[in-house]
Structure 1
Amino acid sequence: MSSSSAEHAVVDLIRAKRDGHTLSADQITWLINAYTDGTVAEEQMSAMAMAIFFNGLDPAELHTWTTAMIETGIRLDFSSLPRPTTDKHSTGGVGDKITLPLAPLVAACGAAVPQLSGRGLGHTGGTLDKLESIPGWRASLSNEEVMAQLTEVGAVVCAAGSGLAPADKKLYALRDVTATVESIPLIASSIMSKKIAEGTGALVLDVKVGSGAFMKTEHDARELAKTLVDIGKRAGVHTVALMTRMDVPLGRTVGNALEVAESVEVLAGGGPADVVELTVALAREMLAGAGIEADPAEALASGRAMDVWQAMIRAQGGDPTAPLPKAAHTEQLRAETDGVVTELDALAVGLAAWRLGAGRARKEDPVQAGAGVEIHARPGDRVRVGDPLLTLHTDTPDRFAAALADLDGGIAIGETAPKERPVVLERIS
């Protein structure tokens, strides 16, 4: 197609979507390929993203859109592995360290877990940033190394290679600067193009809802969960979603090394109840999807999951017994009245951890391994004047003021304990 006819073609497609029409499979496939190879300009794809933001994509369009994004790159093939593959994706939250205990736990029950993860941006932490606080651990592995580790250890957590859904990489950056990030079809196709390209046989989605999540309301979280599950099923992948709470941070730590330490506590048979509950719930779904009958709670209690964790860390050059980095400076936020903690806002805590150096504002920013927030009192806990509520950790003490400003109004102390709510709100299949 000549450049002028391509110009006309893409303008016609933008106009059609702008006016609420359905695009054909051929039109969508052409558009994604032409955008990936540079035939379609960034400003044209920006207009298309905005048209989709307002008018959406129907299930057939979305299936084609996701498939076209997958086909711009490679697909990994795990069919030669001696055990079935199963994977988990979280839409991101505060204190969401679940991948760390979950991958070795599911591997300890007989599945292969290829967990291709990302880095944190803004107030939500990145799994790779957390693991990189372990001395020697490396995130980048070749496909051959991934296959060898899945065969020998059963679990791998590493960076996704550049060959998976390159169209998504371009579109992801574009959505960020065009105010189209919140579009459910664009979120769903971004997540699922990478996950399906990963080649896993079963997929469990942890769709967070609440102040610290991308989806603030149960209605929006449910719509996203249903959309994700539908894309997975159409692609022939066993897909289930759990909607889980993210109004309060998960566990008692937010940060990189802090969350690794808490994950190791969970693997040692301890750790916060909510982290254990969600880890086991997701493990059950992942094992069911892989067709494996096993009790993850038993694998956690017996220490088998800890053995896999240590093997997984060693396989990627890390030392699971090495002391984790600690921040040079700490400051405590203390209770000013007697009472019961009624609220601990996940977004406020996530932003504070980010300000302290646990997260980044831009992709190229470094993170501090020891920075973050330690939570001493969660909703329902009774406190007295002067009791520590939170400990802030950072290497740069001039960051404390901004972190404390983020926490202002994020913690409430009252007279009656809030009603307890489960971590898992709903299952969508």
Structure 2
Amino acid sequence: MTKSHDYDLFVIGAGSGGVRAARVSASHGAKVAIAEEFRIGGTCVIRGCVPKKLLVYGSHFAEELQDAAHYGWTVEKMTFDWSVLRDTVLKDVDRLNEAYTATLQNHGVERFLEKATITGPHSVRLASGREITAKTILIATGAWPVLPDFPGSDLCITSNEVFHLAELPKRVVIQGAGYIAMEFAGIFNALGCHVTVVNRSETLLRGYDESLRDRLLQITMARGIQYRFNCPIERIEKDGECYSVKLAGQDPFNADAVLIATGRRPNTRGLGLDAAGIELGERGEIPVDEANRTSCPSIYAVGDVTDRVQLTPVAIREGQAFADSVFSDTPRTVDYSHIPSAVFSQPPLAGVGLTEGQARMQYGNIKVFSSDFRPMKNVFAERHERGLYKMIVDAGTDRILGLHMIGPEAPEILQAAAIAVKAGLTKADFDATVALHPSMAEELVLMR
């Protein structure tokens, strides 16, 4: 396609959104190049949801092995080696990095493993000094962990470094109460660490249904996770082989590792956006329209860097929509309604649509159906934790506005149920569906 530029498309950032956009654009006939200063695959594959989910799987064996005796199994000399789990996870990260690289190579996308900076509406400069021009530029640099400013913050780790710990810490402090914090709290707790979650407010998992948040708090406290609300970290000092952690209004206490999980901000620092006349939003995000176009007509952005919905599947859809719209003359936009999400805490929770509070605010007259039950697996293993499923329904139309659940395999069950919410099905549609027995999922069609 290109005649007056080096490339039809130059992508900055080879994460989920950038790789999808580059691959699909190339398949449409565009000459494409991509720059990534770290590793091909981005946050989700290299230092995010994929390796974290593998750690979740690994930590689940602690519970499974304990419960095995109730099913007739005798497991002797149970031990855990953090280095084995860590290295196995990192090995799979290497595999995925190679797979993503091969995908780009197979589609003829040229790769530059160095930082790229925008120097104009149609030009970038690589860290090596090479100047490159492109008819269209796509920014897909994702987001970066937020590190609060307090004395000793340099002693902390974030979700970027947690996968590389030399050894498993005996005492872990986690600041934050969002999904990253709660997932790592569950991982470390299951692996036998003493976990303390500290937060500047008294709310965990903001945005999820309140009933599920309360249930998760109850269960995790019973599992031994300690919480200190309304008291963020004031300072951290080295204390021999460990750290002294001082919270607001409380006495210092010691920890072997401090993980900061207070959110992620768009990764726009040093991109040179001002050279193209692009101004950032309040959180450092790149504002875009529904076609993913910035204020500079030749520059687009997708994924977490736009701070719309920070989820990998959303970034992938945005990358696909961009490629089809720009290089296939098939205009596409992303529908951001009814996006399912999950927290791989222990136990996990998942939801789609409006929470009970949101539905009352928007619709007023709603009906709430629920099932509060003890999963069969927990009964047999003499584990007293209970699952909770909620269905939020518009009283006037019977249409399901939201589904929310906490319990074993909740995310796996919700994915199929999310289709029903997206399709606008009603409570009557669920009632008319025969239950699949015995299963936890049958609770979805038995709620009264």
TM-score w.r.t. length of structure 2:
0.27
Of Structure 1 and Structure 2, the greater helix share is in: 1
Return the structure number with greater relative CO, CA threshold 8 A, min gap 6.
1
TM-score w.r.t. length of structure 1:
0.28
Of Structure 1 and Structure 2, the greater strand share is in: 2
